[in-house]
Amino acid sequence: MKNFKHSKKKLVYVFFLAALVVGVFTSCDKAVAAKENPELMKVYGESEAEMTAPPMVPRPVGKRAATKLIVNMEVVEKEMEMSDGVSYVYWTFDGTVPGSFIRTRVGDEVEFHLKNHPDSKLPHNIDLHAVTGPGGGAESSFVAPGHEAVFTFKTMNPGLYVYHCATAPVGMHIANGMYGLILVEPEGGLEPVDKEYYVMQGDFYTEGENGERGLQAFSMQKAVDEDADYVVFNGKVGGLTGDNALTAKVGETVRLFVGNGGPNLVSSFHVIGEIFDKVYVEGGSLINENIQTTLIPAGGAAIVEFKVEVPGNLVLVDHSIFRAFNKGALGILKVEGEENKKVYGGKIEEKVYNPGVSAAEVTEEETEDAPVANTSLAEKMERGKQIYTQNCLACHQATGNGIPNAFPPLAGSDYLNADVHRAIEVVKFGLTGEIEVNGNVYNSAMPKQNISDEDVANVLTYVYNNWGNNKTEVTAEMVKKAK
């Protein structure tokens, strides 16, 4: 009898253990199935999405479970600065270009509230490239001024995705600034880094030419011709320079979420002075390493990561380089910290180079008083214009207006007009560090110009006799005296 009872207990225990094992395996199978098909992922709780204006991003999702995420976004049509003295009526998501950064994780159930401000003139909608469904949500989100549309979707695929307005004419809505990024993090989140920033390129088409002052209207013909007046980061010239510059400390790892709203141009994204340790190609799961420049298509994105190892100003550009120095696609990442001479030693020597002539002969020649030809003001101006076009135009522009927050204006420049001898020294020997010009602070590098004393005099005479400056005539003798 005792043996029977013992056997019965043992049998119950075996059945219990078997049921437990089956349950565990069933649960694991469900978990694997859910991982392979996020549609099956269970959501836990509900929260409102943290939304951030560029260049900031919300906190990482970390290891949180999938949840119901409420996203509130408002369409606002507003006039803002495109460039110094130039304004434009942008159509925006949440009042910024690009619109707010949205951060989710795979498996989230998103309830999206799109509101169109009552002062808007037009209806709008939103197409999120992260959405699996008709129009990326555009069909469900079309909303008139003073109304709100609500729709839901499941985040099925991890990656960095563009969103944009898709109301006809679609190109015009995008060209007016209606785009942004939504990140869908993988389960468990992205690896932690020290700094994360949000950068988005866009091309703009105005009735007036680049730099033409006043309120500028959208030019449909230029947009159709893909003839952009401005190519910028974060909605404006200087959107990532000066007070808007990104910052990091030596030794930190930086992650940039980079998008390209277009509507037309492909971006050749590059950071001068850095190499990308990792690039999540087109914002997806494929990771490339040790990359100098990465292509980002219109309506596409990429994630780039790199460790900053030396201090200085790193320059973000579209390496279709005239867009950077002439149309505005330029930003600054200011890195502070200790020098690291093992990584970057900087200039250690500068000496004369003149093939076929010894350094001693060159030095001797330079100390002799060479005769200076007598040239008229008109001749100086003509030669000065040639030197300016070859050496100065890219940074200071044909009109002498410079590039806001990057390169100071020469037109009507209080800095130049106050001290001609200082101006000569800048051209002859170069200048690095902060200067104030016409009430604005600039912090960039002016390299030494490898031109003769006579040509220094010519180019400065050209500058001083143009663009409202004080008509000083600079001579070669004045330049020679600068030490």
Q: Which residues are annotated as a binding site for Cu cation?
A: 124, 129, 164-165, 173, 178, 319
State both tokens at 386.
């040639």
CA 146 vs CA 24, 74, 172, 220, 235: distances in Å: 52, 10, 21, 27, 25
Q: Is 226 helix (H, G, I), strand (E, B) or coil?
A: coil
CA-angle at 299, arms to 202 and 136, nearest 5°: 130
Q: Do the bridges between strand 46-48 and strand 68-83 make them parallel or antiparallel, or are there none, so unpaired?
A: parallel
Which region, left, alpha or beta, applies to residue 155 given φ > 0 means left and ψ of -120 to 50 means alpha? beta
CA distance 35 to 39: 9
CA distance 463 to 140: 57
State both tokens at 199.
């950068």
Cβ atoms 324, 330 nearer than 8 A:
yes
Contact residues for 244 (Cβ-Cβ < 8 A; gap 6+): 55, 234, 238, 405
- DSSP assignment string, 404-423: TTTB---TT-HHHHH-HHHH
Q: Which residues are annotated as a binding site?
A: 124, 129, 164-165, 173, 178, 319
DSSP element (H, E) containing 26 = helix 2-36
CA distance 409 to 422: 16
Q: At residue 70, what are phi and psi to the nearest 5 degrees?
A: -95, 120
- Nearest CA among 305, 292, 312, 290 for reference residue 258: 305
CA distance 436 to 238: 16
- DSSP assignment string, 261-278: EESSPPEEEEEET--EEE
* Residue 52: other Cβ atoms inside 10 A: 17
CA distance 355 to 248: 43
